[in-house]
Amino acid sequence: MTQRTSTVRATSASPPKNFAGPGAAVPRVDDVRVLLTGLDPLAAAVALALADAGVCLFDVNDRSRVLALDALDGPYPAQTEGLPRELAMRAMLRRRSPRCVPLTAPELFPSAAVGGAVAVHAWSVAGDLLADLREPPVPDVDGHLPTLTVLTDGACVVRWPVTDWAHRPCRSCVTGAARHARAFVREHPLVATAPALSERAQPFRRVTRTVVAGEVAGILLSLALGFDDAAELGEPPAGQCLAGPTLHHGLRRILLPPEPGCLCSLSFMGP
């Protein structure tokens, strides 16, 4: 068990607040800084939605190559196939808005004490089996950074409540959530060999990612700008326990249980 997961017992179940301190100025959209670790089609769509909303400062991190499926299911142009995702994403953001300043330098990402800094940690299942679960880059950044973790698995997306970077879901939590999601959606036993998609689910893949990308972008802006409407965006009010990760499949949303036996999951359980 790593030190990161073993310290979760002392963690409050409330989502972290992203303010520079009492009396600090509320950040503007121009001040929002977004760190993206993992750039699958969902995370790429989140970045473009934020750019459309006026966010200019991005740090994008994923050296894996753009696949043909990335262009089919997401916003990556076909001509970017084979390029590193972070390189393709920087070019896409600059084209989206001339004001965008996308970098790949997580070591330069500001402290959580700087208002307007948030992170997305995007996992994905790159094949048909859970053994194909792909872990995104894990840069050395401020452990207090407000972080939203998402998992894409075929036509399903699982989103966790907001935590700080140090207490984001571990691999065991992510794998367990993927198993629960597959079992629920496909009425299949909880085994790692469950198929990633049924034929009936195929048409919902892009719909799911479009819906969730907009939701994630909204939650990130709410955190970064200090809006007090997190409950309306799917987060519990401060002081209330978290309900566990949320599964999105097509237009359906289902709460999934935390992974039993994982200390990481204590962040998402009631008292």
- The dihedrals phi and psi of 247, each to the nearest 5 degrees, come to -90, 135
pLDDT per position as a tens digit, 51-71? 999 999 999 999 999 998 888
State the maximum Cα–Cα separation within the chain, in Å, rounded to a whole number: 54
The contacts of residue 53 (CB under 8 Å, 6+ apart) are 29, 217, 221
- The dihedrals phi and psi of 102, each to the nearest 5 degrees, come to -85, 130
- List the end-to-end C-alpha distance of the chain, in Å, as a whole number: 22
pLDDT at residue 64, rounded to an integer: 95
Name the pTM for this structure.
0.84
**Is pLDDT above 60 for 82?**
yes
The contacts of residue 124 (CB under 8 Å, 6+ apart) are 38, 40, 42, 133, 134, 151, 152, 153
Structure tokens, 91: 């070019």
Structure tokens, 224: 């970064």
Q: In this predicted model, which residue has the larger pLDDT, 143 or 20?
A: 143
Burial annotation 117-142 (CB, 10 A radius, 16+ → b, else e): bbbbbbbbbbeeebeebbebbebebb
The contacts of residue 24 (CB under 8 Å, 6+ apart) are 115
**Is pLDDT above 80 for 237?**
no
**Is pLDDT above 50 for 244?**
yes
| pLDDT (average), residues 72-93 | 93
Closest among 245, 154, 251, 246 to 208, alpha carbons compared: 251
pLDDT per position as a tens digit, 101-132? 999 999 999 999 888 999 999 999 988 888 99
CB count within 10 Å of CB 203 equals 10
pLDDT at residue 216, rounded to an integer: 95
CB count within 10 Å of CB 151 equals 28
Q: Say which residue the tokens 């995702």 belong to.
A: 85
Q: Select the highest-mean-pLDDT range: 52-56, 222-226, 243-247, 260-264.
A: 52-56
Q: Round to whole Å and give the CA distance between 60 and 87.
A: 9
